[in-house]
Amino acid sequence: MYILGFNSTHDGSAALVRDGEVLCAIEEERYSRKKHHYGFPEHAIKACLDHAGIDWKDLDHAAFYWDPKRRLASFMWHVFRHLPRSLAYFKRQPGIWSDFKALPKKLEDEYGFAGRFHFLDHHRNHLASAYWPSGFEEAAALSVDGTGEWEATALALVGTDGRIKILQSTNYPHSVGKLWETLTQYLGFRPNSGEGKVMGLAPYGRPDLVAKFRDVISSDGKGDFKLNLSYFDFHVGRERKYSDKFLSVFGPARVPESEIDSRHEDIAYALQAVTEDLLLEIVRQLHAISGMDRLVMAGGVALNSVANGRLVRETPFKEIFVQPSAGDAGASLGAALRVWHEVLGKGQEGRWTMKNACLGPEYTAEEYRSALEGSGLDFHESGDAPREAAERIARGEIIGWYQGRMEYGPRALGNRSILADPRNPKTKDIVNARVKFREGFRPFAPAVLAERAAEFFECGNAEAPYMLKVFDVIPEKRAVIPSVTHVDGSARVQTVRREQNERYYDIIRAFGELTGVPVVLNTSFNVRGEPIVNTPQQAVHCFQGADMDALILGDYVALKR
């Protein structure tokens, strides 16, 4: 039985499940080349179907990541409460209800879909996307994002029957995700895209504004919280998400691409600080009311790796699994899995556990060679590509590493990566300025052999295969790996085991044998403003336009003349 899950708003994506097994999951941006693609994921769906060797007519079910009827009711109530200011909503979202309502007929008329269509509620899809792949038999589950149909935060329990029981929720407009969207815009970055930049900026700030931020968002001490709406305009549909009051208290907004000053850094610091404190409170409350020892997390706020690191260290949960495509792209996966396990009543039957996030398309050696021929690059076939990559990195080269299936989610985890030497203190600045063409304050992640992670990072026994947890670098190691040590002494760690990604593991191991440091700098294979590369041709193009030394496509090593 084939089940398609998809999302057609921001971060459009598709996921294909067969009898409970996830076959493929892809973001539309990798095809459209529009970062955080908004709209129907036609190419992503086709890629999923092609991977399985099927057509639309072979699909038994299709599931959308949203329930428009439930959303319409809550949306109209919200607009009514905030009249007349909320009339601005209708200028910005006139067709969203009709677009969603038309989806079943669109699939039938345009693509020949003849199966059963499901509208499924947003936060349960997030929760399912984290629970089913986790492998935990039962777990507490947390979803935190901008908003679903009505909820913005959902605390849940998932028992052995796989049923999701919502224990506590906080409703829109009181939303951690909307808080971050607003401050991302205020700080001159793109909302629903630049939140990671704000997180990277935060450690440069001071705690001077944290007290003032306690008036912007407050909590009841038991996991529920409120935004002080006088600081915001997003909830009345305004394009500018912050209010005049926010400007009067915190000063003028930063103009995009202008200089970042200490006030901007302090605001980012305060935002991160209050978010961490609130999430700690929410997770401790969830532990208390669920009685579980294991936690699964999704929703866009679950991508806050700094906060996740604190949750590992400072909450009672023994294990925490964060789904690597935690944002709305990942809700497609949750929707497809919910049809099999919940709607069809399969329970634990056919359950699939995530071993790695490499769920996207894969290309052949012939396609690699075709992309290189006529490119103007010199290339040869390596007898041991991981070893050659490690040797080049140890010599100070920066390489594009392109292998196997593309990762699902916003992080490159060793198949669409740019790799470099973390020991050189200049590597961070070189990669930011000459390779990625991005802001100099942004940090890079270390990829480390899982069995040796505790030698370099204060992570204990915790692993972070999806680069979604931040740990402190052991003080005496900070000078050893300076280019992956952030300004506050932390690092967004990726732990790597051979059974998760054999060739990637072999690079890090070989680099460790050559240098004594089993750690490499890993960043996504793209440049600023572009999605991660998908096809071999895109990898070649990106390599030619950036200051990298070598490109390794499968076993082919390409060099610039």
CA distance 14 to 43: 9
User: Minimal CA–CA distance to 148: which of 127, 134, 130?
Assistant: 127
CA distance 270 to 250: 11
Q: Please check whether residue 234 is in contact with residue 182, taking contact to mean a CB–CB distance below 8 angstroms.
A: yes
CA distance 270 to 207: 6
CA distance 106 to 122: 21
Q: Angle 389-395-398 (CA atoms, 0-180°, nearest 5)?
A: 60
55-to-12, 30, 46, 364 alpha-carbon distances in Å:
20, 21, 8, 22
> Nearest 5°: phi and psi at 358?
-85, 80
286-to-110, 282, 294, 500 alpha-carbon distances in Å:
44, 6, 11, 30
- Beta carbons within 10 angstroms of residue 545's beta carbon: 12
User: Minimal CA–CA distance to 306: which of 524, 433, 464?
Assistant: 464
537-to-308, 343, 453 alpha-carbon distances in Å:
36, 41, 35
Taking each helix axis from N to C terminus, what angle separates 176-186 and 262-290, rounded to the nearest 10 degrees? 170
User: Minimal CA–CA distance to 467: which of 488, 448, 445?
Assistant: 445
- Beta carbons within 10 angstroms of residue 526's beta carbon: 22
Across the strands, what pairs with 227?
A: 217
> Which residue bears the tokens 């634990």?
348
- Asked if omega into 173 is within 30° of 0 (cis), the reply is yes
- Strand 21-27 relative to strand 61-64: parallel, antiparallel, unpaired? unpaired
Q: Please check whether residue 160 is in contact with residue 137, taking contact to mean a CB–CB distance below 8 angstroms.
A: yes
Contacts with 463 (C-beta within 8 Å, 6 or more apart), sequence order: 450, 453, 495, 497
490-to-43, 251, 463, 484, 547 alpha-carbon distances in Å:
38, 29, 15, 8, 27
Q: Is 264 an annotated catalytic residue?
A: no
CA distance 380 to 482: 33
Helix (H) or strand (E) holding 521, with range, is: strand 519-524
**Catalytic residue numbers?**
10
